[in-house]
C-alpha cells in the first residue's frame, strides 16, 4: 500500500506527466502558498524599506500584482484545456496556476472594496481568503470527500445531505465563521458548530437578525482584549502585516 506522501507526488509509469488529482492539486497548493508568502513579504518590504522595488506605477495608474495573477490564471487555465501537455510543461502549468492564484488572492480585499485597502483593516480580508483557500485545497489534497458523503446514497438522499450541509455552511458564512464554513463543506460537524455559535458583530447575520442586546453580546465575545482574539490578531499581523489603521 502506498503511503499518503507518495500518492501526492505519484507519476505515471512513463514518467511523462503528473497524474490529475491529489498529486497535481498538491503542486498547485504548494505553489499557491509559496507565491502568497513571497508577494506578501515583498509588499511588507516595500512598506518598510525605501529601496525595495514596489509595484509598477505610471501616469497615476498603479498596476497591482493581482493583475499579473489574473493574467497567469487565464493563461495557465487555457493551456490546461487547449494543449496536450507532457512533462515538464504540465508541471510548469500547475505551478503557474498556483502562483497566479496566490498573487490574486493576496489582494482579495481589493476585489470586494474596489479600493486600495491593502494595508487597512479591511485588507485583512485577503488573509482570511488565503487561509480559507488553503484549508479547502488541503482537504482536497488529503482526499476528503465533500459533504461528508463517504458512502453513496440514493439520489434524493444525496440531495438532502448536500442541501443540509450547504445550508449549515451558508449560515456559518453569514455569521462571519468563514473558515468553519469552508471546513464544514467536508466535515459537516464544523459547519454545524459554526452555524450554532454567536455571530461576529460585523457579520451579515448580526446586522440583519440581532437586536441591540445580541449585538452587544457579540461585540463582547469578539472583543480584541480577549486572549483568543489577541492571538488571532497577532497571528494575522505576523503573517500578513499590521494594518495602518490603529485598532481601538
Grid-cell match 497566479, residue found: 100
**pLDDT score at 151:** 66
Tell me phi and psi for residue 245, to 5 degrees: -70, 135
List CB contacts of 246: < 8 A, sequence separation 6 or more: none
Residue 167, C-alpha cell as written in the block: 445550508
Farthest CA pair distance, the chain: 65
The 10s digit of each residue's pLDDT in 6-36 is 444 444 443 444 556 677 889 999 999 999 9
| Mean pLDDT, all residues of the chain | 84
> What's the pLDDT band for 39 if we cut at 50, 70, 90?
very high
Tell me phi and psi for residue 212, to 5 degrees: -60, -40
- Taking 60 as the threshold, does the pLDDT of residue 200 lie above it? yes
**Could you state, in order of their start, the residue ranges of all structural domains in the chain?**
1-143
Would you state the torsion angle of the CA atoms of residues 198, 201, 204, 210, taken in this order, to the nearest 10 degrees? 70
Distance CA 12, CA 236 (A): 40
| Other CB atoms within 10 Å distance of the CB of residue 157 | 11
Would you state the torsion angle of the CA atoms of residues 71, 72, 78, 82, taken in this order, to the nearest 10 degrees? 130
Contact 174, 203 (CB under 8 A): yes
> What's the pLDDT band for 103 if we cut at 50, 70, 90?
very high
Tell me phi and psi for residue 57, to 5 degrees: -135, 125
Contact 126, 118 (CB under 8 A): yes
**Distance in Å from the first CA to the final CA of the chain:** 55
CA atoms 203, 208, 210, 212: torsion sign: positive
Does an H or E element contain 64, and which?
none
- Taking 90 as the threshold, does the pLDDT of residue 206 lie above it? yes
Amino acid at each position: 500500500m502506498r503511503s499518503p506522501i507518495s500518492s501526492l507526488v505519484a507519476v505515471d509509469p512513463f514518467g511523462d506527466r503528473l497524474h490529475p488529482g491529489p498529486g497535481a492539486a498538491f503542486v498547485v497548493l504548494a505553489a499557491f502558498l509559496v507565491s502568497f508568502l513571497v508577494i506578501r513579504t515583498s509588499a511588507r518590504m516595500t512598506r518598510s524599506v525605501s529601496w525595495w522595488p514596489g509595484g509598477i506605477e505610471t501616469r497615476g495608474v498603479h498596476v497591482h500584482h493581482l493583475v499579473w495573477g489574473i493574467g497567469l490564471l487565464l493563461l495557465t487555465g487555457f493551456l490546461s484545456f487547449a494543449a496536450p501537455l507532457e512533462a515538464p510543461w504540465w508541471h510548469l502549468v500547475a505551478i503557474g496556476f498556483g502562483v497566479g492564484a496566490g498573487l490574486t488572492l493576496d489582494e482579495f480585499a481589493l476585489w470586494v472594496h474596489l479600493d486600495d485597502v491593502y494595508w487597512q483593516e479591511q485588507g485583512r480580508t485577503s488573509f482570511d481568503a488565503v487561509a480559507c483557500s488553503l484549508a479547502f485545497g488541503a482537504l482536497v489534497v488529503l482526499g476528503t470527500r465533500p459533504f461528508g458523503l463517504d458512502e453513496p446514497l440514493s439520489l434524493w438522499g444525496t440531495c438532502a445531505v448536500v442541501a443540509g450541509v450547504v445550508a449549515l455552511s451558508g449560515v456559518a458564512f453569514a455569521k462571519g465563521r468563514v473558515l468553519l464554513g469552508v471546513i464544514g463543506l467536508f466535515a459537516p460537524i464544523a459547519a454545524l458548530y459554526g452555524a450554532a455559535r454567536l455571530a461576529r458583530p460585523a457579520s451579515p447575520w448580526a446586522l440583519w437578525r440581532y437586536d441591540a442586546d445580541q449585538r452587544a453580546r457579540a461585540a463582547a465575545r469578539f472583543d480584541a482584549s480577549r486572549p483568543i482574539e489577541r492571538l488571532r490578531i497577532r497571528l494575522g499581523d505576523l503573517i500578513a502585516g499590521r494594518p495602518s489603521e490603529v485598532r481601538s
